[in-house]
């Protein structure tokens, strides 16, 4: 037993990533809003960017510690680690399959699945994610395990359990027999009335949530045929936002219908997720509030792939909403982009497949954004929305050394971001 413990300890130590790195990069995007630089040396010490220097300097010239690892990426374009503002790491399943898994998968099984999905996400170049809800707290634990170096994954900001009204989009008991209702809603994420909604927020904060997420409208995947309009009163939404802000937490709002989008913006939401039916009033409210739009376009890829594999993957009421969503996707992004609304990158991975997060870039460009704007949405804008712009989002001196390497020029063809050749997070090399 002692022998095997010693072997395991040595293996763990052997695989511990380096924290001091010298990267020779062919091209470097320090910030998405600045020109790309040629032939640069990126100096990383103690997990942070110490310098970005013209030319390829030696370790001695860079004055780095003796244990510094040198990466030859002279044939690569290096840019800041990407940020996905909307994921659900605990599952890669949807529709009827996901409904069955809710009743059969143990919390332990969900935790292992979340860890696998986190690793996929990191290896796809996403060094930070905002996880917007799971049922059993597995991602809260995963966040801490990654932070403590126990497992591999991106930096996580977690919402705990998403909040909605009874019969709203986050009511886990929808589609199940009445006797399962208490079991499936044991996380007490449902609220009805002002006091109840305040309590729901405080509960998630007590669990350690970094951000609060609630649903002001119905959802495409809701197992109930109540449409995609508002399903919460304004005083309830205001109670959620005010309570979250009281505790210094930002608020992300799931909203499809214009009425629910506008309701959330009126009461001070920090971001609108999906925003499928954005109207002129919503555009004005976005501008007045400074909220971010997170379009989650690539959800349609998940729908299309699953329906291709199994035409009955979703119940008839859900499938009808999916077909509508596929047909209308991208229209709100066009409006938001033309109006100058700040846009942050988010995929809703879990509805789409984990590890395929970069598919979102292609759709953002298809519906009006330039590659540079799409990359800014996944770096500078995303970091600002998450409130961590002093730590990540660019390769400026003093920030966490989160960076990725790709072949080709993502400013000419954003699809190169689907193939990541190198990943460094906080100075630790995970892919080379």
Q: Are residues 90 and 74 in the same domain?
A: no
| Residues ≥6 apart with Cβ < 8 Å to 411 | 29, 36, 371, 372, 375
pLDDT, position 3: 38
| Residues ≥6 apart with Cβ < 8 Å to 42 | 21, 22, 23, 25, 28, 49, 51, 52, 78, 395, 401, 403
pLDDT, position 206: 96
Q: Are residues 376 and 411 in the same domain?
A: no
**For the domain that residue 256 is a member of, what is the CATH number?**
3.20.20.140
Query: Which two structure tokens, joined as six digits, stand for 107?
Result: 């919390």
H runs (alpha helix) in 272-388? 280-289, 299-309, 316-328, 331-339, 359-366, 371-377, 380-386
Asked whether 47 and 19 are in contact (CB, 8 A), the reply is yes
pLDDT truncated to tens, each residue of the chain (432 aa)? 433 333 333 333 333 455 899 999 999 999 999 999 999 999 999 999 999 999 999 999 999 999 999 999 999 999 999 999 999 999 876 665 666 666 677 888 889 999 999 999 999 999 999 999 987 889 999 999 999 999 999 999 999 999 999 877 776 666 666 666 666 665 578 999 999 999 999 999 999 999 999 999 988 877 666 778 999 999 999 999 999 999 999 999 999 999 999 999 999 999 999 999 999 999 999 999 999 999 999 999 988 888 888 898 888 888 888 888 999 999 999 999 999 999 999 999 999 999 999 999 999 999 999 999 999 999 999 999 999 999 999 999 999 999 999 999 999 999 999 999 999 999 999 999
Query: Which two structure tokens, joined as six digits, stand for 71?
Result: 């990466």
**For the domain that residue 420 is a member of, what is the CATH number?**
2.30.40.10
Residues of the domain holding 137: 82-386
Q: Are residues 69 and 169 in the same domain?
A: no
Looking at the 3D structure of the chain, how many domains does it have? Answer: 2
Q: Are residues 86 and 153 in the same domain?
A: yes
Q: Are residues 37 and 87 in the same domain?
A: no
Q: Are residues 189 and 144 in the same domain?
A: yes
Tens-digit pLDDT profile for residues 150-201? 999 999 999 999 999 987 777 666 666 666 666 666 557 899 999 999 999 9
Please give the span between the terminal C-alpha atoms of the chain, in angstroms, as a whole number.
34
H runs (alpha helix) in 40-127? 59-62, 95-104, 107-123
Q: Are residues 176 and 253 in the same domain?
A: yes
Asked whether 302 and 322 are in contact (CB, 8 A), the reply is no
Q: Are residues 121 and 244 in the same domain?
A: yes
Beta pairing partners, 251 = 212
Tens-digit pLDDT profile for residues 113-156? 999 999 999 999 999 999 999 878 899 999 999 999 999 999 99
Beta strands 155-158 and 126-131: pairing type?
Answer: parallel
Q: Are residues 123 and 55 in the same domain?
A: no
Q: Are residues 227 and 300 in the same domain?
A: yes
Q: Are residues 115 and 213 in the same domain?
A: yes
Q: Are residues 161 and 51 in the same domain?
A: no
Asked whether 376 and 364 are in contact (CB, 8 A), the reply is no
């Amino acid at each position: 037993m002692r022998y095997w413990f010693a072997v395991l300890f040595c293996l763990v130590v052997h695989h511990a990533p380096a924290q001091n790195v010298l990267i020779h990069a062919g091209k470097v995007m320090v910030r998405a809003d600045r020109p790309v630089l040629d032939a640069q040396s990126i100096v990383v010490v103690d997990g942070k960017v110490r310098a970005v220097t013209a030319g390829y300097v030696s370790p001695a010239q860079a004055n780095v510690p003796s244990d510094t690892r040198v990466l030859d990426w002279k044939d690569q374009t290096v840019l800041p680690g990407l940020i996905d503002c909307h994921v659900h790491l605990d599952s890669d399943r949807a529709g009827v399959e996901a409904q069955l898994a809710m009743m059969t998968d143990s919390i332990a099984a969900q935790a292992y699945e979340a860890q696998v999905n986190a690793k996929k996400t990191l290896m796809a170049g996403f060094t930070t994610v905002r996880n917007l809800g799971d049922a059993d707290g597995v991602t809260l634990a995963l966040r801490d395990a990654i932070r403590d170096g126990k497992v591999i994954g991106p930096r996580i900001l977690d919402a705990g359990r998403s909040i909605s009204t009874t019969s709203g989009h986050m009511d886990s008991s929808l589609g199940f027999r009445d006797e399962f209702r208490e079991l499936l809603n044991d996380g007490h994420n449902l609220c009805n009335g002002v006091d109840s909604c305040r309590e729901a927020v405080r509960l998630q904060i007590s669990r350690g949530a970094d951000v609060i997420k609630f649903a002001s409208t119905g959802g495409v995947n809701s197992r109930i045929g109540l449409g995609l309009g508002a399903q919460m009163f304004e005083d309830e939404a205001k109670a959620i936002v005010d309570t979250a802000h009281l505790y210094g937490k930002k608020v992300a709002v799931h909203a499809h219908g214009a009425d629910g989008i506008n309701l959330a913006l009126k009461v001070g939401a920090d971001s609108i997720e999906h925003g499928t039916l954005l109207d002129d009033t919503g555009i004005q409210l976005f501008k007045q509030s400074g909220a971010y739009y997170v379009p989650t376009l690539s959800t349609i890829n998940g729908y299309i792939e699953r329906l291709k594999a199994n035409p009955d993957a979703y119940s008839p009421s859900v499938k009808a909403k999916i077909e509508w969503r596929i047909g209308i996707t991208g229209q709100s992004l066009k409006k938001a982009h033309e109006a100058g609304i700040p846009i942050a990158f988010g995929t809703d991975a879990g509805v789409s497949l984990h590890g395929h997060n970069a598919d979102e870039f292609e759709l953002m460009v298809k519906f009006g954004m330039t590659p540079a704007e799409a990359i800014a949405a996944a770096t500078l804008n995303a970091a600002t929305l998450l409130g961590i712009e002093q730590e990540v989002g660019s390769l400026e001196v003093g920030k966490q050394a989160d960076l990725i390497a790709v072949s080709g020029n993502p400013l000419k063809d954003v699809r190169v971001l689907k193939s990541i050749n190198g990943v460094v997070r906080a100075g630790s090399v995970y892919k080379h």
